[in-house]
Structure 1
């Protein structure tokens, strides 16, 4: 994709990537986002966040467009603030995953992101926690290295769910088998009749890797996880230096 071909689709992660470290959308970034739409292209937020954490960000883009939430499990319309599609973990699978992790990894604390809200195991108990479908199962370990913990979870339950991580702590996020930021983005791009080569993507953490490899052109912010920095086509400035906006300004002159 040459400089004079503005991308038709821009997919960006939010936390640690397009947002400043305090969670805000800078004036410069909001202006860059507006430029994408003015060019007739599509902006998609692709985030680990659940929809209920999207309202502040939705305001910055004047409640336009779609967001892929919960690492690909939920497609959310920022205009209507409605979930328009979901790919959930079934209760039977959820119960099996919790049981297998419990049996193999001591000291875990579980929580779940349902379509309608969030629950901790300590509040509900394991049986209640796994009694209905969920968008995301989270497991936290008190002290394991984040990358090691992810590898461990993948080894134990990788045949049942798709595990990733994005927080820089020993917190693993699990989605229904095969659901990633990339699968959701590819589906959406297909509906828009946009090809990977017409797409640029931005990210900072391992949960962004599938999306970054799917997109024709991938960018990491300078503050990204080492695995992400190693995998992308380009590195832009850090999130706090509006690295995403810098690229958008260049691409949509």
Structure 2
């Protein structure tokens, strides 16, 4: 029988979570990308108590293993929900952007914001055309998961499946890029922002962290009010809004810290905020 845990006066008493779902960068990981001993201990204790631990990230699958190998996980939701990996070794669940739609999206974006470059995550690697500016998150330009192609046409011909289309502007600031992209794309794709400089991420319509987490928990028979989610960026908002226990990180994007959203606030990632909250839940079991 799950215990009931008290929260502060603005949040009613709720059922303890059976699923702990967390973003990685800026949430579970510290500034240097490390997992603290306290965080590892808290996640291990949660798993030992019968809770499921789920990674939910904008990262592609290949960029999560160095984290997921450190603890027992129930699932990895990657590329903002485009790829879901279960630990049983089965093929990932894939929700990809249709190639024809991707071409239309690129054409509309390029017409609206001329200084854009494009890349595509396939789940096995990242392909990019010459106009796409690589940054440090991509690693060495010669890394085996990176493939440079000669044009957007070649990009669309070779990239499959199109898990996530990424666009980066050369100089257009994000506050201009985001609304321009939304107006140009409309319902053709899901647009999200995970913190990359002048960069937006586009997925198939309706594909986001919240939907992927909801579908995963439905498979397990776990309702939203028994799910805790931790995130720090606008891309996390669908999952934060869906989960019964939604925690924006204190170091998170200002959009998530708006009191009107009604989210709880966890201590910053530098203070092991996820671990602190999880420890509190475990103390109430």
TM-score (norm 1): 0.94
For the pair 1:128 / 2:137, whether they are aligned, the reply is no
Deviations 1:81-107 (A, max 9, x none): x64200001111111111111112111
Identify the residue that residue 275 of structure 2 maps to in structure 1: 245
Partner-residue secondary structure (3-state), 1:224: coil
* Aligned partner (choices 69, 86, 89) of residue 59 of structure 1: 69
Structure 2 unaligned blocks of 5 or more: 7-13, 131-147
For the pair 1:209 / 2:212, whether they are aligned, the reply is no
Deviations 1:179-201 (A, max 9, x none): 00011001001011111111111
* Aligned partner (choices 99, 103, 115) of residue 107 of structure 2: 99
Moved more, 142-151 or 87-96: 142-151
Distance 1:220 1:183, change over 3 A: same
Partner-residue secondary structure (3-state), 1:211: helix
Identify the residue that residue 75 of structure 1 maps to in structure 2: 84
Q: Write out the 4+ residue segments of structure 1 that deviate beyond 3 Å after TM superposition.
A: none
User: How far apart in 1 are the matches of 2:35 and 2:173?
Assistant: 30
Identify the residue that residue 87 of structure 1 maps to in structure 2: 95
User: How far apart in 1 are the matches of 2:80 and 2:189?
Assistant: 13
Alpha-carbon distance, 1:241 to partner: 1.1
Q: Quick check: 1:65–1:79 contact (8 Å CA) kept in 2?
A: no
* Aligned partner (choices 246, 255, 262) of residue 227 of structure 1: 255
TM-score (norm 2): 0.84
Partner-residue secondary structure (3-state), 2:276: helix
User: How far apart in 2 are the matches of 1:61 and 1:83?
Assistant: 21
Please provide the CA RMSD for this pair: 1.6
Partner-residue secondary structure (3-state), 1:60: coil
User: How far apart in 2 are the matches of 1:5 and 1:38?
Assistant: 19
Q: Quick check: 1:44–1:67 contact (8 Å CA) kept in 2?
A: yes
User: How far apart in 1 are the matches of 2:87 and 2:18?
Assistant: 19
Identify the residue that residue 173 of structure 2 maps to in structure 1: 145
* Aligned partner (choices 22, 37, 42) of residue 12 of structure 1: 22
Alpha-carbon distance, 1:40 to partner: 0.8
Aligned pairs, number = 251
